[in-house]
Every structure is written in C-alpha cells, then in structure tokens.
Amino acid sequence: MNPRLPPLTDVLALLPDAVCVVAEDSRYLFVSAGFERILGYRADEVLGRPAFDFVYPPDREDTVRQAAEVTAGAIQRHFRNRYVHKDGHLVDMQWSACWCPEYGVRIGVGREATELRRVEAELEHLANHDTLTGLPNRHHLQQVLTRALSHARANGDGLALLYVDLDGFKAANDLGGHDAGDRLLQDVAARLTQGLRHGDVAARIGGDEFVVVLPGCRDATAARRVADALRDRLRRIDHLAGQPFQLDASVGIACFPGDGDDVATLLAHADRAMYAVKRRAGAGTG
C-alpha cells in the first residue's frame, strides 16, 4: 500500500492547540477541533462571526491592535489575551499569528495559558510579598512609593510615610519562642491592614519593622492621627503564648515634600524620626 497524506483537517484535529484562519475583517473562516476543546464552541457556532466577539471585553482593544499589526505584516509569537468560554468562564490564551497576503487571511495558533498565568501570578506575588505576613515586601514598597510620589507630584496631593518599629518584640521571642514571634508578626500585619484607609499600603521591610504609605495625607498632623490609631490597635495585643504581654510601637513620620522629594530621602527621614521617638520613650531597640 502506498502511503498517502491524510486531509490537513484530520492532522489539525489531533493538535491540542486551537488553529484559526480569519479573513481580513477578522471573521472566522476555519477553526480546528482544538478550538472547541479549549473554548467550548463548535465550528458551526463561530464560522462567519468576528473573532473579537469571543474575546473578553477588557482585552478586545489590545487584541484589535495586535490583529492590525499582524495584518500589516508583523509576525506575532507570544500575544496573550482572554476568551470567554461557552460556559462563561475565562480562558487565558497565548497566540502565534501571521498574515498570508496571497490568501488574504490571518492564521493564528493559540494554546491555553490559564495555568501558566496562575503560576506567573503566584511567582509575582512571592517576589513582591513577605512570605510570613503576606504584606508587600521592601522591593514592592519601592514600587508603591515611586508610583505614589509620581501621583503626588502630578496632582499636588499630599503623601506621608509611617515607619513602625515594634517595642518588645525581642521579649516576645524570649517569652514564646520564634513560633510565637512569627504569630505576633502576623497579628501585627493584620491589625495594621485593618486600620488603614482605602489606598493606604502597609509593608514589612524586615524583622519587626513596617512602613505604612498614606497617599493623600497632607501634613504631619493628619499622619500622626493615623499613627496614633494604628499604635492603639497594636497595644491591644496584651497576651502572648497564654501569658500577659504588652506590645507597643515607635512610629516615625515623614511627609512629602517637606521631609523629602524621593523614596530614599523619605524613608531615611521616617527611619530617623522613629529612632528619635524610641530614644525619647526609652524603649530600646525592640
């Protein structure tokens, strides 16, 4: 028996990816069996319809732009967007596409990237958040502060920082061990977060030190009110490992632009202000 090539559609049906052919006006001319496996729609439900109808609405503008670039001759290899599955849930897709001018069509090959996006989101979270408390870490704080400063400069809004250092944390470790100390830090993180306004950000920058960013806070008086309220929340921690324990905090304040016009200067000022508070209180170093 002489071997013969099977029909191309039979070959494409075996691919786990979706293969699509669309006209210049973006109407589907062909979709492979993988399209239905990934997105739930049969070929007869999509042929003749604009491909953009199935794209998640917030992603349509970017998808239209990418399609225009491909039609202009660009080869797209790693475009990401989201489609609405037939049953209503979102499917993350990654596409490679090219324009075939001799046929007047775009060919796209897409694979589901939902799991990839989930893993990327987890890795991004780990890179930007403290693993113990879940708060933004020092790296993420730099990004938050940079954006907040840019906004404050552009709009004339205020901005304040609170540098929070726990008083008595060493005693907490001595009393209940490192596990108790870790639980205390988690409790502190929760209390700080619960005491913030919408748009405020609390970050853990190491050990028992936290920084709170207060966008729109116009002066030190307003910042002090927030600091006092947060300190009061932390002072409600009066037991640890089943034993009486009193937590407190020293809080330093820095305000933009009077105390600094950049991230490093504001953080340094708030840090110095915190140590000045600690010295006045005779609290030691924690």
128 to 92, 122, 201: CA distances (angstroms): 23, 10, 13
Binned at pLDDT 50, 70 and 90, residue 171 comes out as: confident
Q: Are 175 and 243 in contact (CB under 8 A)?
A: yes
The answer to whether residue 284 scores a pLDDT higher than 50 is no
The answer to whether residue 93 scores a pLDDT higher than 60 is yes
Mean pLDDT on 136-157:
94
The answer to whether residue 245 scores a pLDDT higher than 90 is no
Look at residues 253, 283, 282 and name the one whose alpha carbon lies nearest to residue 268. 253
pLDDT for 56: 98
The answer to whether residue 281 scores a pLDDT higher than 60 is yes
Region of residue 88 (phi > 0: left; psi between -120 and 50: alpha; otherwise: beta): left
Q: How many helices (H) and strands (E) does the chain have?
A: 9, 11
Mean pLDDT on 84-93:
97
Mean pLDDT of the chain, nearest integer: 93
Domains of the chain from N-terminus onward = 8-118 (3.30.450.20), 129-281 (3.30.70.270)
pLDDT tens for residues 99-116? 999 999 999 999 999 999
The strand order across the sheet containing 90-100 reads 28-31, 18-23, 105-112, 90-100, 76-84
Using CA atoms of 255, 258, 263, 267 in order, give the dihedral in degrees to the nearest 10: -60
pLDDT tens for residues 193-212? 999 989 999 999 999 999 99
Give Cα 113 to chain centroid, integer Å: 18
Residues 6+ apart with CB under 8 A from 219: 158, 160, 255
Residues 6+ apart with CB under 8 A from 174: none
The pTM of this model reads 0.79
Q: How many CA atoms does the CB half-sphere of 56 hold within 13 Å?
A: 15
pLDDT for 261: 92
Alpha helices in 102-236 (DSSP H): 114-128, 138-155, 169-194, 220-235
The tokens describing 126, both together, are: 């780990």
